Structure formats: C-alpha cells, structure tokens
Chains A and B, each alone.
Chain A
C-alpha cells in the first residue's frame, strides 16, 4: 500500500471510482435525482483524475504512457469510464454505472499490483506515428466491449434474479424512462467496439509492415487479437440466425470479453509466449 501513499493522485482516482461504484449502486435503490447526479458527478471526477494520471505520466515519461502493462491498465480504466459515460448519456440510464465504475476501479487496483518499478524509455520500434492511434483505438474498443459485457451480464442476471430483472424497469436514479432492451444495448456497444477492433487490427498490421516488413507473422498476440475479432464477428453474424438472440447472444458477448481479457492479460500463460514480441514483460510491452 506504500505505493498509494507515495502517489496520492492515484489513490484519489481509485477512491473516486470506488465512490462512484457505491453511488451508482445506490441508484439501484433510490429514485432521488440527487443520488443520480452525485453518482454521475463522482464518475466524471474519477475520469478527470484518471486523465490527469495519464497526462502526468505522459509528461514525466516524455512519451505516450502506453508502454507497460501498468500504463495500459490506467488507460483501460479511463476508456472504460469514458465509454460508460457516453452510453449513460445515449441510453439515459444509470443501471450499468455500478458495474462499469467497478471495472474501472478494478483496472486501477490491478495496476497497483503491477506497478512499474521504473519508467522505461520507448524503444525505436514503438517510436511510430501508428503507436498512439493503435493503442487508443484498441482500448476505446475494449472499453466498448467491457460495457457490452456489463449489459450482457445484467441481461443474464435479470433472467435469474428478480432484483436484477426489476433494475431494467425501474427509474433507477430517475434517469431511466422505460424498460431497457438489454440485448439491443449490448449489440449497440459491440458493433461500436467491433468497428474499433477492426481499425485497431488493421492499423497494427500496417504498423508491423512499416516496422518489420510483415503485415502478419502469426505471433501469439496477433493470433489472439484475430480470435477476438472472429468471436465478435461470429456474434454479429449469429444475431441474424433464428434462436441466437436472448441468453445465447448474451453468453457469446461474455465469451467475447473473456477472449479480450485473455488477449490483453493472459499471453504469458501460453507455451508460445516466449516466441512473441508483443507479450507484456514485467514492465514493458511492445
């Protein structure tokens, strides 16, 4: 915990996400406008603090802060929060707020466990104009998929629990004005995320060509990025197949995000990880 004491702004951002989680959870019970506004306000504050962490790191490291696992987790926390806020505005509901804020908080908590002992320099291969667009597009896409998973999880829970079923109909935090079609919400988020994953995959491929001369070398990380894209591609196709809506589609959305998480964090578990040039090491990523 000395890390949090040494880095008070990190502690503040984490605390703001935790408070936002609690406040959004309160909107599940309360219909008071004040509770709803406090929840959104806390989320905005958390995101602002998170942005400040990213900007501070960018300035102190004198490079985009997307190199190490720690840095990417801080950014993932930010994109998850921002995507949620946009969706809250679009869908006029705070039902997903508690889980979304919890995800952002979880990213920061996991980042603490993978704190960089030292800020490292950017190797020549990462000094590319493609670096920032590739990472930003991917992590906004991941944020969208995280949101889709929250909606899909609520859809699954609503089928099993009266409490969660009620959530999709109540005026949670006064924001919700009608019954939510959770499947449509999930689909909207996934198709948005899928467009970004497509751009991210292609930008990464073009970057690889300009850096190493190959679009694609079947590296484990590349393969799993492709698997992510294929699974979500299958989701989008199966939506048009009779019998593949409802719980099946929701489970597929959850599976998609499980693949995202494995692609992001699980590469070190693969026997082929040692062959990869993309797998996160203790404090580095390419």
Chain B
C-alpha cells in the first residue's frame, strides 16, 4: 500500500485484506484454548506437587473437561476444537514445548539450575522448565490434544471407507496416550544386581528417572543368576596414523588400516606407507605371547625408507615418526560383543530357566527383565532392569492402529486411485496433475 493513500482507501484495503470476522473469532478461541490450558496447568502446579501421576491425572481430567465443555458449549467451540487450524496450532505448541525440553537440561537437582543459569535458574524452577514433560502445564496441553483427537474421531463415527484411516489413526493416538498415561502413573521400574552363583533375590530396587528412590518392590518370584556370559569381539591389531593437535600436547586418530602386506596407503599431506613385512606371531605362537611385528616402508616426498621392526605390544618400539604425524602399530581394546544372563526363576512350583540379553528381554510374573549392565572387573556381575508396565498393551495397540491408519489415510482405497489418476493426467500432459 502506498504511503500517501487516503485514510478511507486504506481502511477499505484493510477491510479486504483482514481475515473475515468468523476467522478472527476462531483464532481468538484457539488462542484461548492453547494459551489457557497451559496457564491453568501452571496455576494448578502451584498447589500440586510434581510427579508422573499428577501429570497423567491432569492430562486425563483436562482432556475430559475440554471435550465435555466444547460439546456442551455453542457449536462453534466444538468446530474450533475439531478444526484443522486448531490442531495445527496445538501441534506447533507441543513442538515448542518439546524444543524447550532440549534447550534446558532436564531432571537435574534444584541447586543445579541457579548455578548454571544464574537468575534464569529460579524462573526455570518456578515454571517447572527443569522437568517439562512431567509438568502440569505440559500435561494440560496433552489434555487438549486428547480432547481434540477424541472430538475429531467422534465426528467421523460411524466409520466409512473414506475416513477409516483418519479414525484408525486418531483412535491409535488415543490408545497410545492412554497407555502412556497408565505407564506414567502406574509403571514400576527398578534395578536388580546379581552375581553368578550368588544369592537369589525377590526384590527390585525402585528407580525414578534413573535414580534409586530407596524403595523396594516385590518381584513375586525368586530370581537366581546361574551364569553370566560376557563376550568380546576379537582383539584387533592395526596400523594407526595420529596427528598432533595445534598445541602439540595431544594426538588424534586420523586414519587406521588393516594389516595387509604390500598394499600402499595414502596419508594426509601426501605421505604414504605400506607394510613391507609382517610377522603375526613374533614373540611366540601362543596367544599370551603373541606380539605381532611389522616393517613399514614409508614414502615422504621422494624419500623412501624402511622402519626397524615395530612390535605392536612393545611401547617405544611400536611407532614411526613422519613429518606431520606418527604411524603406530597397536592393539585395539576388545569391544564388548554381548552380555547374557542365564537365570532361574522360581514362583511356587513354577521353575523356569531362561536367558536375558540386550534386546532380548524376558517376561515373567508380570515383570519384564532387561539386561542393562556388566562390570569388566567382575565377570560374575550382571545388572538388570525390571519393569512392570500395565500400559504397554495400550501403547502397542495404539502404535498398530496409527501405522495402519496413517498408511490407509494417505494411500488407502480412494486416495490411491486419486494419486494414480493424477499421475496419469500428468503423463498425458493435462497440466495440473
């Protein structure tokens, strides 16, 4: 708009470009809901202590209240709650909260925040930005999501083929949120530390956010560690190239090479080397005596030289200097490949022998046992996590419904036909696909 336009013309243009009144009112209602819910949550949390159960209860109660209120209030409120604009704004609000949870370190002791963030630390604690995802204002936002998803799903009931994907996806979201709320409120998680051949246990040391609470929970069965297998990858010998840092005090690994005799390798700054001779069993063929030795042929510029015999396990005799770095013949520490607990579980007459490994949890007596830790200094020790989670089935069902629903929504039935038709039109050259 030009700066010398008349006031009348300017107001006319403004009237044309301004959103219609109904849209403005909808935006206002959205602002009230998305701004008001966390504000109410923040107010409640001034009187209610933090915790998973309080958060789950706030989300559930908040969702129910908003759902009921929007269905009892004039229809425009329900239309707003089920509208695409509202959902988009709510998704952005949830995204902003999730981002905040990564900007501020979460779950540290209260004294950490003033120490790290100075005056801002007090504000962080007051708004519970130190534990956003258990705060009641975040729970209130989730409650709003529950109300919106439930309202949108109810609107499309009974399902038809056209909206089946939408319904499944939103039912899945509800099932997932319900399962997560049950998990959050009622799941018990704890540690079990056992030694192979040692005493059995029937208790779990309860943890919250990874820290021991001092409480113990009954497993309801007896658990004994019969054997603990800690397996490592085979140790490797390698030729490694290091370069010094700018200060020259530290060296960092730049490249590493397999023991391939005769293969020429390039290095930074135009240098090169190859293994001229390799004796893998220098020192003795027995594993405990093994000390591989190699002679390297190094090319720097036009100069070619051979190193003396480098012994991988003889410090001081295992490296060769280059103008810009150093080649070291060395042994790599053996990385842990797997650790597995072989346990016996006894519950009355029910005796079961089983194994627990990483990614292979074991379910027994309502608990699921996870392999968590080992101690390289104590090969008999096994650290396990025990979880009793009544919400897990709801979450799994929710995931399944979301997966089917999202796929159906975008590619099921009618929409697949529409996509195929649009591509066919594009191929025919009808312009708009």
Residue-wise, chain B 263-284 has the 8 Å CB interface mask toward A (1 for contact) of 0011111100000000000000
In the assembled complex, the CB of B24 is this many whole angstroms from the nearest CB of chain A, namely 13
In the assembled complex, the CB of B227 is this many whole angstroms from the nearest CB of chain A, namely 17
> Cα distance A233–B432 when bound, in Å?
25
| Chain A residues closer than 8 Å to B98, beta-carbon distance | 223-224, 226-227, 230
B403-A188 in contact (CB<8A):
no
**Cβ of A31 < 8 Å from any Cβ of B?**
no
A230-B180 in contact (CB<8A):
no
| Chain A residues closer than 8 Å to B385, beta-carbon distance | 212-213
Q: How large is the interface on B (under 10, 10 to 19, 20 to 34, 35 or more residues)?
A: 35 or more
In the assembled complex, the CB of B215 is this many whole angstroms from the nearest CB of chain A, namely 18
Tell me which of A123, A212, A220, A272 contacts B370 (CB under 8 A): A212
In the assembled complex, the CB of B113 is this many whole angstroms from the nearest CB of chain A, namely 12
**Cβ of A237 < 8 Å from any Cβ of B?**
yes
Residue with the highest number of chain A CB atoms closer than 10 Å, among B104, B240, B358, B423: B358
Residue-wise, chain A 227-271 has the 8 Å CB interface mask toward B (1 for contact) of 100110110011011110000000000000000000000000011
> Cα distance A270–B265 when bound, in Å?
38
**Cβ of B335 < 8 Å from any Cβ of A?**
yes
> Cα distance A230–B183 when bound, in Å?
22
> Cα distance A156–B407 when bound, in Å?
29
* A239, closest chain B residue (CB): B84
Stretch with Cβ within 8 A of B (4 or more), from A12-20, A104-112, A179-187: A179-187
Tell me which of B233, B336, B359, B410 contacts A192 (CB under 8 A): B410
B102-A220 in contact (CB<8A):
yes
A121-B407 in contact (CB<8A):
no
**Cβ of B92 < 8 Å from any Cβ of A?**
yes
In the assembled complex, the CB of A242 is this many whole angstroms from the nearest CB of chain B, namely 8
- Residues of chain B in range 389-433 having any CB-CB distance to chain A below 8 Å: 389, 392, 395-396, 399, 402-403, 406-407, 410-411, 419, 422-423, 426-433
Residue-wise, chain A 201-235 has the 8 Å CB interface mask toward B (1 for contact) of 01001110111111110101001101100110110
| Chain B residues closer than 8 Å to A223, beta-carbon distance | 98-99, 101-102
Quick one: given A210-B359, A271-B105, are A117 and B189 in contact (CB under 8 Å)?
no
**Cβ of B368 < 8 Å from any Cβ of A?**
yes
Tell me which of A177, A198, A211 contacts B359 (CB under 8 A): A211
**Cβ of A127 < 8 Å from any Cβ of B?**
yes
> Cα distance A191–B357 when bound, in Å?
38
| Chain A residues closer than 8 Å to B84, beta-carbon distance | 237-238, 240-241
| Chain B residues closer than 8 Å to A271, beta-carbon distance | 103-105
**Cβ of B361 < 8 Å from any Cβ of A?**
yes
**Cβ of A33 < 8 Å from any Cβ of B?**
no
In the assembled complex, the CB of A276 is this many whole angstroms from the nearest CB of chain B, namely 9
**Cβ of A5 < 8 Å from any Cβ of B?**
yes
In the assembled complex, the CB of B167 is this many whole angstroms from the nearest CB of chain A, namely 16
B268-A210 in contact (CB<8A):
no
| Chain B residues closer than 8 Å to A240, beta-carbon distance | 84
Quick one: given A117-B255, A188-B419, are A209 and B392 in contact (CB under 8 Å)?
yes
For the complex, count residues of A whose C-beta is within 8 A of B: 64
A216-B180 in contact (CB<8A):
yes
| Chain B residues closer than 8 Å to A121, beta-carbon distance | 233, 335, 337
A124-B358 in contact (CB<8A):
yes
A213-B91 in contact (CB<8A):
no
> Cα distance A240–B368 when bound, in Å?
44
| Chain A residues closer than 8 Å to B127, beta-carbon distance | none
**Cβ of B291 < 8 Å from any Cβ of A?**
no
| Chain A residues closer than 8 Å to B265, beta-carbon distance | 6
B335-A272 in contact (CB<8A):
no
- Residues of chain B in range 85-133 having any CB-CB distance to chain A below 8 Å: 85, 87-88, 91-92, 94-95, 98-99, 101-106, 132-133
Tell me which of A2, A184, A234 contacts B268 (CB under 8 A): A2
**Cβ of A120 < 8 Å from any Cβ of B?**
yes
**Cβ of B253 < 8 Å from any Cβ of A?**
yes
| Chain B residues closer than 8 Å to A205, beta-carbon distance | 399
In the assembled complex, the CB of B30 is this many whole angstroms from the nearest CB of chain A, namely 11
Tell me which of B88, B94, B402 contacts A237 (CB under 8 A): B88
| Chain A residues closer than 8 Å to B358, beta-carbon distance | 124-125, 127, 211
A210-B361 in contact (CB<8A):
yes
Tell me which of A117, A123, A230 contacts B92 (CB under 8 A): A230
B104-A272 in contact (CB<8A):
yes
In the assembled complex, the CB of A34 is this many whole angstroms from the nearest CB of chain B, namely 21
| Chain B residues closer than 8 Å to A9, beta-carbon distance | none
**Cβ of B216 < 8 Å from any Cβ of A?**
no
A118-B85 in contact (CB<8A):
no
**Cβ of B331 < 8 Å from any Cβ of A?**
no
**Cβ of B254 < 8 Å from any Cβ of A?**
yes
B410-A195 in contact (CB<8A):
yes
Tell me which of A178, A209, A243 contacts B426 (CB under 8 A): A178
B402-A213 in contact (CB<8A):
no
**Cβ of A90 < 8 Å from any Cβ of B?**
yes
B410-A191 in contact (CB<8A):
yes
> Cα distance A180–B427 when bound, in Å?
11
| Chain B residues closer than 8 Å to A191, beta-carbon distance | 410
Tell me which of B83, B403, B428 contacts A198 (CB under 8 A): B403
> Cα distance A212–B368 when bound, in Å?
10
What are 15 A-B contacts with C-beta separation under 8 Å?
A91-B423, A117-B253, A117-B254, A127-B359, A177-B426, A178-B429, A180-B433, A188-B419, A191-B410, A223-B98, A224-B98, A227-B99, A238-B84, A241-B88, A272-B106
Q: Which residues of B contact A (CB under 8 A)?
A: 19, 23, 83-85, 87-88, 91-92, 94-95, 98-99, 101-106, 132-133, 180, 183, 189, 233, 238, 240, 253-256, 265-270, 335-339, 357-361, 368, 370, 372, 385, 387, 389, 392, 395-396, 399, 402-403, 406-407, 410-411, 419, 422-423, 426-433
Given contacts A123-B336, A194-B406, A237-B85, 5 further A-B contacts (CB under 8 A): A123-B335, A177-B428, A192-B410, A227-B99, A237-B91
9 pairs of A and B residues whose beta carbons are closest in the complex: A177-B429, A118-B256, A124-B358, A230-B95, A213-B387, A220-B102, A234-B88, A240-B84, A128-B359
